[in-house]
Structure 1
Amino acid sequence: MDQFKGQPRLPKFAVPNRYDIRLKPDLIACRFSGSVSVNLDIVTATNFIVLNAAELSVTNDSVSFTNRDSSKVFKPSKVELFEDDEILVLEFSEQIPTGLGVLSIQFEGTLNDRMKGFYRSTYEHNGERKNMAVTQFEPADARRCFPCWDEPACKATFKITLDVPSDLVALSNMPIAEEKIDNSLKTVSYQESPIMSTYLVAVVVGLFDYVEDHTPDGIKVRVYCQVGKANQGKFALDVAVKTLGIYKDYFDTPYTLPKLDMIAIPDFAAGAMENYGLVTYRETALLYDDQHSAAANKQRVAVVVAHELAHQWFGNLVTMEWWTHLWLNEGFATWVSYLAADGLFPDWKIWSQFLHECTDGLKLDGLAESHPIEVEINHAREIDEIFDAISYRKGASVIRMLQSYLGAQIFQRSLASYIKRHACSNAKTEDLWAALEEGSGEPVNKLMTSWTKQQGYPVVSVKLNNQNLEFDQSQFLSSGAQGEGHWIIPITLCFGSYDVRKNFLLQTKSETRDVKELLGSQVDGDKSANSWIKLNVDQAGFYRVKYDELLTAKLRYAVEKRLLSPSDRFGILDDSYALSMAGKESLTSLINLMGAYREEDDYTVLSNLITISHKVQRIAADAVPDLLEYFKLFFFKVFQYSAERLGWDPKPGESHDDALLRGEILTSLAQFGHDLTLDEASKRFQAFLEDRNTPLLPPDLRRAVYVAVMKQASKSNRSGYESLLKVYRETDLSQEKTRILGSLASSSDPELILEVLNFMLSSEVRSQDAVFGLSVNWEGRDVAWAWLKEHWEHIAKTYGSGFLVTRFVSAVVSPVCLLPLLYMLCSICFLSKLEIPIFWYTRFIILMECSINYNSSFFPFCFPVVQFASLEKAKEVEEFFASHPMPSIARTLKQSLERVHINANWVQNVQNEKSLADTVKELAYRNY
């Protein structure tokens, strides 16, 4: 049996094609029993059957194999569960011949509290606390519910039966085929599923309400939620019904199941999970309340629903062959969710907001410790760390780049062909390239291999030398180091006007083009010296651009005069910020550029400007603290125009983007300590306490007001804090609770910050939500560090089995003050032999990271995270890592340490800028 230990994949002795599963959860004892019969094709005569199982009790006498041809029953001579490898090995004294047969296993397990496998979630009904049973199997946790071949390529059909209390709702992937009630127990049998992978199997048992609708094709769509919240599911229901139609047309393939259920789970580690026909969500990602949810919440629900439904085609119908190709699932679902949201809500200008996705991918992929889109996975335990911004956001961004290069119609036709060709089976990246190459006639495989099989991305440097444009490409690294990468880059070039543009492939390291020859009759060469030049038009490409000083000055003028599209204004700012961080441009140059955005009114551009302002403030606080007040005055002036244009009160008929922007601008001013904003927020909060339905505090303003309240709160002046806790305790809306939790640590008083952190570990905060209260401000980072050191034993003992510790890590994505301590917590859990499943950390980052780092609409209640930015701290972190190794999160921790070094280097560079002081003072007092 030992020969099977440590193998990355299951042996191919047997191939499953059908499961018959019966489960009986005990929601009081929090245990379950079950049986599974698996139809197998024994392809090689063998004395062993090896499959996946974990945390299940299986005995010798509960296992048998029946040969279908001879009806002979084989009983195993030995049954052993290798917990480290999560495999169940069945040894038979007599060789099992090739052919068909049925493997039958009975088992028992625990409904765990770790939000993985088959687990329990809690809710209240009529004042009584109850348990529900929920499954979460991606990437490799179906094995914690029933023994199975838990690999995506091992597709099969599933016939599921549940024995549950008769008063509860029991859901699975397929519609109910039969239901029998026997007093307090009912047996529910479901229709057999189409062929699918084990990670998509789903079961939910609990007490729920629902709302229902049908697509024009007659597919029944329901949204389930806690009793009393059904109305909050109507928006998601409408989005789902319409999105199924959009995807049917786009993929030229109908949704393949007879029903679609979506359900809000009170305790859920990820944002959502695309189980075939039964999609599970966090409440905040599915429910929307017209009275108390913000515009950002509405957008998030729409995009997350569109993402999960995209998986019904890209992931469920056509499934990656192995986790190396995870990006085929997640990159495409991310990209196409924007396509659906844009079709449903064109006034949202959602494609502009897609730039946040691209920037997030660029940020992670700018690290030396990044990884390629396609990364070899040798063992199931390695899967978790690739559920990150590379698989999702870089994946989505290179898809957008390829679509832009091939053209929308050709891309769509080729994609539909790919779906049809691989429906109900598995595919690799090369299969997609083949379909796109066939449909376009372009060398897609050659072009895209440089983007998927090597990590990183290029920065294209461009300078104008007389009438020549000189292009150079090199790998961009946020550290400023020199990389070795080389790409085939689809260059788009705009010259003085969007009517004058050119596309070409940059295949060499350097290339020089004559302007007139490049653009031909489109441009008058005599006037070219006075024209601005913009590369990567509308930011369609996954690369950065560095301009020479002359071109930079012309672009700054073009930004100020609004001659560029919002996407290009976004890209110029974001590239300049990244280049400043890497030491390739000065902070002085960056803030001069930021001043050109004073009259900016586009939501996406301003949202990024806000984020960059907070990051610059944090670097300035460490590098040049005596200039910090000048930086704040400068930022006040940068945002003054938009704040005055928008005001505090929503305007009739205003755009969705203005509703989003008002909250972000005011929140930012509150965070910076703007006195007028703090005073107005206090007045509106008082009116809200007197009347929770006051029009003075609509949902879009609440985050800003809550931040302002806590900004002024202290240990000695705690009335605002106590009032905010009262609101938290009274509301049953998850979005409101998380808004409040994300605001509580905004105080500058170390004593109050400590009290807030202690509150996060109290029974009043769901474990999944404790992460929101860890977003302390700059003044609180040392307090947070000390707090974690003091409480690590409690956290390790209470939450070492998984999700709270890993959620803490997800909340403070490096470089942050808390990461080293969290690493210590994980190490202690490891040394104590407590399980630390990293999946929940990395999976949750997908929806959290954007908000933490970009103030985006996905999680509008989170703040930019506090960073360490000194070489001394970097050394401390490095020494700690060296003495506390943990292989399972090695990549994540290396990335964290690298970010600390990057910030430390940036601080040093800023300290050496001689003109910075004069520039920031002049900008702070300039009369615009």
Structure 2
Amino acid sequence: MYRIVTATLVSLTCAASYQAQANEYVLSKVAKPISQSVAMTLDPNKDDFFGNTSIKLEVLSATQQLQLNGVAYLPSNIQLAGAKDCSMTSKQLDTGIVLFNCAHEITPGQYTLSMDFEAPYNRQSVGLYKTMDGGLPYLFTQFEMSDARRAFPVFDEPEYKIPFQVTITAPKTDKVYSNTPETKTTTADNMTTHVFAETKPLSSYLVAFAVGQFEEIPVSGMKVPGRVITTKGKIELAQYAAKQMPIVLSALEEYFGVDYPYAKLDTVAVPEFPFGAMENAGLITYREDILLLDEATASQNSKERAVSIIGHELAHQWYGNLVTMQWWNDLWLNEAFASWMAAKVTHQTHPEFESNLSLSKNYVMALDSRVSTKPIRKPIKTEADIMDGLGLAYNKGEAVLDMVENYIGVDAFNKGIRQYIKDHAYKNTEADDLWNALSKASGKDVGKVLSTFIEQSSYPLVNVSVDGKRLTLNQKRFVTAGTDAPAQRWTVPVSIKYGKGNTVEQTTVLLEKDSQTFELAFAPEWVYPDADAMGYYRWLLDEVQMTQLLNNAKSKLSVRERKALVLAADALLDAGLVSGGELLNILGEFIDDPHPEVVSTALGYLQSQKGTFIDESNQQKWAKFIAARAQVAIDKYGLEVKPGENTAVSKLRPTLVQLLAFEAEDRATIVTATKEAKSYLSGSDKVDPYLIGTHLTIAIYNGDSSLLDQAKRVFETTKDPLKRTRLMMALGYAPTKELQSDILAYTLTDNIKAPDLRYILAGQDYSKERKQRFRNWVYANYAEIKDKLPPFAVANIPYYTGSGCEADALIKTENFFKSKLATTPEYGRTLAKLEESVNNCVALKQREQASVEAYLNRL
């Protein structure tokens, strides 16, 4: 899915086993499934469905009770056939477990459990859910993490990998898809029954089906048949994805050394989808704005996103589907590996994207340093536990895998992965199985490194000092200034790049103690402590060393390394290791960097610091400062695309245009944006694909009700998924109090699907006044918002009202949501994170405001 010990390896297994046995949300081990057939009647025109299932199972110990998972469905006619038949009764628990009771003892042996069931279609994008698109009803599934149990009775835990045989009866006008090819169809009374081949062993969360009036095109060039499938009227946008599938799949087959393991590879573009994509075996689903695009007019950003997420989901076919985690505590590794593999294959197949400049670690290191953040491998009971820190699991996990591959070598890492896949095909594993494979392939103790990063939160701050050829490294936990956190130690592969004159060397050392000294090949003039930006740590140089590094950065460091340097400097402000003024000066050094990606990063962090330090007394100073810095890049690159320009310039330009419009309030920029937006809304495709989203936002923010109404009409009628998403993002910037209120009310109508609510809400905090109106709206409409969101997203609602740098807003948020902990306990974790985040921000502002003001006053 696309959307965070000791030195011994065996300790991981023991921990996982204990968690499973102690977890009341886990099924009892008195029985295990062998195979399951499911037959369902699914009519998208109706509001509910029914079916029956037959599960071959083995009872392992004498019992009068079997346990399966279930939410929302109603079972009936429950029969257990075997040594002694039994008509069973059922009771559904709040834990997602259904108890099936027999009047007599069930002795060990093989049985068949069968029952009928019925349930409503879900309308919050989970389980088996119904959505409308273009006036037509469609059915889709999203079973990860634990929502197969909403669709049919099942052993809904990843360790139970069994063959499933699915049969679906649907209106004959509808097409039906599942994980495997159809083997038979029969039609009677305007309904067609579709029988699908039995799957290879799968965990229940990977079962999938779709029903509706779909269109499809074949995918050629793969070793198995495949199709790209869309809702009606969108198939012309599927060509780019159809071209990329075989390219990405071939690269992955080469890397894993094993062919794609399933009988077909169908891809479905879903108009209502709660995540980015889902790796269902043989029937992968994607948000349609990821998969569907016009190759002739799409930006490279859109193409890169499509290829990367295709790579992520296809990587899962081996790592996740063919080899599956034993329990959800290793979901982090499932997702981290798929993200890591996607980055590798995207750069391999499309080097022109420069996707190697995307540094996953920097999306999450600020979060990971907080004391309220949990390790990415942690005990899991409920879906709320899984979702807590899931983004951290993706990005930290990917960054740590980067670091390990860099430490043991690309060839050894690949050798270990290949052996791991071959040894565990169609089985379940735990993290230590992979560590053992990588350790055996490399001759290095990989578990010793990994356990320190995955089983404890945060990361080290590596203090670097040089005395001639002697390099001394000291480590301690990176924390926000003023934070009291327990001492920790990591086993850290530290990659050092250093130079003297024209000579540049690179080495990796293993920092295992609080302090260690190493010898370099020569006494360097400068040192960069994160060669290739592969380390999941922060680093600190003294003032002289930092100056030397900055003097050599543009000529001696790669683009990726310079970008990482900007990000590392920003983090040092949080730790109290540089002042606010010093940071603004460092960021300013990179505004004229040779690569636009670095310029964009520096400008972005200037904007971020403005959000912390701006107040009524310095608004104009900040606007002038940022506009002046942006002007450096504008003078260099211009505001209009030039023939043959580097695509990286096109990617930077939206940042420059946005700063001109929102910071400098430049009328010419606003007029141009409004003109381009109106042309786009009128149906023209002669717009800059990189700028049009920014132009829409600027136009809406500076527009009127007429323009807003036009944007809503186009949003409701366009068949272009990317256009819909751009418009949702822009609608969030409705300009006046009245229009903002209208748009917020609009989000709760059927025009905005449950997973899409976040897109419009993203624009609500641009100004202090707008943010306060939004907070008031959330409080007033809390019940409706909670009912609309997908269940896993409910825990995020306190962020709507409490995030930022305002102590008063935090207090009100805590008072409001603490009263709801009894019914929604996951708010407790969110509030703890919010409290730490806001308090850190307030303390930073108090500590560094004078330094920032002094810097701004000098300009």
Q: Is the 8 A contact 1:23 1:163 kept in 2?
A: yes
Structure-2 residue corresponding to 1:597: 590
In the TM superposition, what is the alpha-carbon distance from 1:143 to its structure 2 partner? 0.8
Matched ranges for 1:627-706 at <5 A: 627-675=618-666, 678-679=669-670, 681-682=672-673, 684-685=675-676, 688=679, 692-693=683-684, 695=686, 697-706=687-696
Distance in 2 (CA, whole Å) between partners of 1:729 and 1:131 is 16
In the TM superposition, what is the alpha-carbon distance from 1:332 to its structure 2 partner? 0.2
Against the structure 1 CA distance between its residues 719 and 620, is the aligned structure 2 distance closer, same or farther, given a 3 Å change threshold? Answer: farther
The question of 1:156 aligning with 2:162 is answered: yes
Query: Which residue of 793, 801, 815 corresponds with 1:819?
Result: 801
Q: Is the 8 A contact 1:748 1:780 kept in 2?
A: no
In the TM superposition, what is the alpha-carbon distance from 1:110 to its structure 2 partner? 0.7
Against the structure 1 CA distance between its residues 805 and 445, is the aligned structure 2 distance closer, same or farther, given a 3 Å change threshold? Answer: closer
Query: Which residue of 780, 783, 787 corresponds with 1:801?
Result: 787
The question of 1:539 aligning with 2:533 is answered: yes
In the TM superposition, what is the alpha-carbon distance from 1:720 to its structure 2 partner? 4.5
Secondary structure at the counterpart of residue 499 of structure 1: strand
Query: Which residue of 184, 188, 211 corresponds with 1:178?
Result: 184
Matched ranges for 1:178-257 at <5 A: 178-217=184-223, 219-257=224-262
Matched ranges for 1:116-127 at <5 A: 116-124=126-134
Distance in 1 (CA, whole Å) between partners of 2:46 and 2:680 is 42
Q: Runs of 4+ in structure 1 displaced over 6 angstroms?
A: none
Structure-2 residue corresponding to 1:831: none
Structure-2 residue corresponding to 1:835: none
Distance in 2 (CA, whole Å) between partners of 1:291 and 1:628 is 42
Against the structure 1 CA distance between its residues 475 and 764, is the aligned structure 2 distance closer, same or farther, given a 3 Å change threshold? Answer: same
Q: Is the 8 A contact 1:179 1:187 kept in 2?
A: yes
**Letter of the aligned partner of 2:315 in structure 1?**
A
- Residues 259-307 of structure 1: per-residue CA shift (max 9 Å, x gap): 1111111111111111111111111121112355433222211111111
Matched ranges for 1:81-160 at <5 A: 81-82=92-93, 84-124=94-134, 129-160=135-166
In the TM superposition, what is the alpha-carbon distance from 1:180 to its structure 2 partner? 0.8
The question of 1:55 aligning with 2:57 is answered: no
Secondary structure at the counterpart of residue 887 of structure 1: coil
In the TM superposition, what is the alpha-carbon distance from 1:876 to its structure 2 partner? 4.0
Structure-2 residue corresponding to 1:519: 520
Secondary structure at the counterpart of residue 44 of structure 1: coil
Matched ranges for 1:718-733 at <5 A: 718=705, 720-733=707-720
Q: Is the 8 A contact 1:437 1:445 kept in 2?
A: yes
Structure-2 residue corresponding to 1:901: 839
In the TM superposition, what is the alpha-carbon distance from 1:620 to its structure 2 partner? 2.1
In the TM superposition, what is the alpha-carbon distance from 1:680 to its structure 2 partner? 5.3
Matched ranges for 1:600-615 at <5 A: 600-615=593-608
Matched ranges for 1:58-69 at <5 A: 58-59=75-76, 62-67=77-82
Distance in 1 (CA, whole Å) between partners of 2:665 and 2:769 is 24
Against the structure 1 CA distance between its residues 411 and 295, is the aligned structure 2 distance closer, same or farther, given a 3 Å change threshold? Answer: same
Question: Which deviates further from its counterpart, 662-671 or 891-900?
Answer: 662-671
Against the structure 1 CA distance between its residues 791 and 213, is the aligned structure 2 distance closer, same or farther, given a 3 Å change threshold? Answer: closer
Against the structure 1 CA distance between its residues 81 and 691, is the aligned structure 2 distance closer, same or farther, given a 3 Å change threshold? Answer: closer
Secondary structure at the counterpart of residue 616 of structure 1: helix
The question of 1:374 aligning with 2:312 is answered: no
Structure-2 residue corresponding to 1:853: none
Secondary structure at the counterpart of residue 400 of structure 1: helix
Against the structure 1 CA distance between its residues 88 and 492, is the aligned structure 2 distance closer, same or farther, given a 3 Å change threshold? Answer: same
The question of 1:573 aligning with 2:591 is answered: no
- Residues 720-775 of structure 1: per-residue CA shift (max 9 Å, x gap): 54554454355332211221221234466444433433333344433432322222
Against the structure 1 CA distance between its residues 723 and 442, is the aligned structure 2 distance closer, same or farther, given a 3 Å change threshold? Answer: same
Structure-2 residue corresponding to 1:583: 576
Matched ranges for 1:241-280 at <5 A: 241-280=246-285
The question of 1:710 aligning with 2:712 is answered: no
Against the structure 1 CA distance between its residues 676 and 780, is the aligned structure 2 distance closer, same or farther, given a 3 Å change threshold? Answer: closer
In the TM superposition, what is the alpha-carbon distance from 1:98 to its structure 2 partner? 1.7
**Number of residue-to-residue matches in the alignment:** 834
Distance in 2 (CA, whole Å) between partners of 1:45 and 1:511 is 58
Structure-1 residue corresponding to 2:856: 920
Secondary structure at the counterpart of residue 618 of structure 2: helix
Structure-1 residue corresponding to 2:315: 310
The question of 1:336 aligning with 2:341 is answered: yes
Query: Which residue of 854, 863, 870 corresponds with 2:806?
Result: 870
Structure-1 residue corresponding to 2:86: 74
Query: Which residue of 491, 494, 497 corresponds with 1:494?
Result: 497
Against the structure 1 CA distance between its residues 806 and 52, is the aligned structure 2 distance closer, same or farther, given a 3 Å change threshold? Answer: closer
**Letter of the aligned partner of 1:700 in structure 2?**
Y
Secondary structure at the counterpart of residue 257 of structure 1: coil
Against the structure 1 CA distance between its residues 443 and 200, is the aligned structure 2 distance closer, same or farther, given a 3 Å change threshold? Answer: same
Q: Is the 8 A contact 2:661 2:670 kept in 1?
A: no
- Residues 331-364 of structure 1: per-residue CA shift (max 9 Å, x gap): 00010001111122111111111x0x21112122
Distance in 2 (CA, whole Å) between partners of 1:736 and 1:634 is 33
Structure 2, unaligned runs of 5 or more:
1-20
**Letter of the aligned partner of 1:267 in structure 2?**
E
Secondary structure at the counterpart of residue 832 of structure 2: helix
- Residues 790-845 of structure 1: per-residue CA shift (max 9 Å, x gap): 4645451x4533526865875x894xxx234xxxxxxxxxxxxxxxxxxxxxxxxx
Against the structure 1 CA distance between its residues 216 and 805, is the aligned structure 2 distance closer, same or farther, given a 3 Å change threshold? Answer: closer
Distance in 2 (CA, whole Å) between partners of 1:742 and 1:639 is 23
Question: Which deviates further from its counterpart, 28-37 or 660-669?
Answer: 660-669
Against the structure 1 CA distance between its residues 202 and 747, is the aligned structure 2 distance closer, same or farther, given a 3 Å change threshold? Answer: closer
Query: Which residue of 390, 394, 397 corresponds with 2:396?
Result: 394
Q: Is the 8 A contact 1:877 1:897 kept in 2?
A: no
CA-atom RMSD in angstroms: 2.5
In the TM superposition, what is the alpha-carbon distance from 1:615 to its structure 2 partner? 1.1
Secondary structure at the counterpart of residue 533 of structure 1: strand
Against the structure 1 CA distance between its residues 805 and 665, is the aligned structure 2 distance closer, same or farther, given a 3 Å change threshold? Answer: farther
Secondary structure at the counterpart of residue 343 of structure 1: helix
**Letter of the aligned partner of 2:186 in structure 1?**
K
Distance in 2 (CA, whole Å) between partners of 1:778 and 1:213 is 43
In the TM superposition, what is the alpha-carbon distance from 1:480 to its structure 2 partner? 4.4
Distance in 1 (CA, whole Å) between partners of 2:213 and 2:43 is 14
**Letter of the aligned partner of 1:903 in structure 2?**
C
Distance in 2 (CA, whole Å) between partners of 1:688 and 1:601 is 34
- Residues 176-232 of structure 1: per-residue CA shift (max 9 Å, x gap): 011111141000000100001000000110111111123342x11211012221121
In the TM superposition, what is the alpha-carbon distance from 1:899 to its structure 2 partner? 1.1
Against the structure 1 CA distance between its residues 437 and 512, is the aligned structure 2 distance closer, same or farther, given a 3 Å change threshold? Answer: closer
How many percent identity over aligned positions? 26
Question: TM-score, normalised to structure 1's length?
Answer: 0.85
Question: Which deviates further from its counterpart, 635-644 or 337-346?
Answer: 635-644
Against the structure 1 CA distance between its residues 75 and 764, is the aligned structure 2 distance closer, same or farther, given a 3 Å change threshold? Answer: closer
Secondary structure at the counterpart of residue 496 of structure 1: strand
Question: Which deviates further from its counterpart, 405-414 or 724-733?
Answer: 724-733
The question of 1:485 aligning with 2:488 is answered: yes
Distance in 1 (CA, whole Å) between partners of 2:769 and 2:792 is 21
Distance in 2 (CA, whole Å) between partners of 1:209 and 1:42 is 44
In the TM superposition, what is the alpha-carbon distance from 1:390 to its structure 2 partner? 2.1
Secondary structure at the counterpart of residue 556 of structure 2: coil
Against the structure 1 CA distance between its residues 587 and 320, is the aligned structure 2 distance closer, same or farther, given a 3 Å change threshold? Answer: same
Distance in 2 (CA, whole Å) between partners of 1:466 and 1:616 is 37
Against the structure 1 CA distance between its residues 173 and 408, is the aligned structure 2 distance closer, same or farther, given a 3 Å change threshold? Answer: same
Distance in 2 (CA, whole Å) between partners of 1:804 and 1:15 is 30
Distance in 2 (CA, whole Å) between partners of 1:482 and 1:511 is 25
Question: Which deviates further from its counterpart, 410-419 or 454-463?
Answer: 454-463
Q: Is the 8 A contact 1:490 1:503 kept in 2?
A: yes
- Residues 55-74 of structure 1: per-residue CA shift (max 9 Å, x gap): 11113xx111111xx5x422
Q: Is the 8 A contact 2:670 2:702 kept in 1?
A: no
In the TM superposition, what is the alpha-carbon distance from 1:719 to its structure 2 partner? 5.1
The question of 1:555 aligning with 2:549 is answered: yes
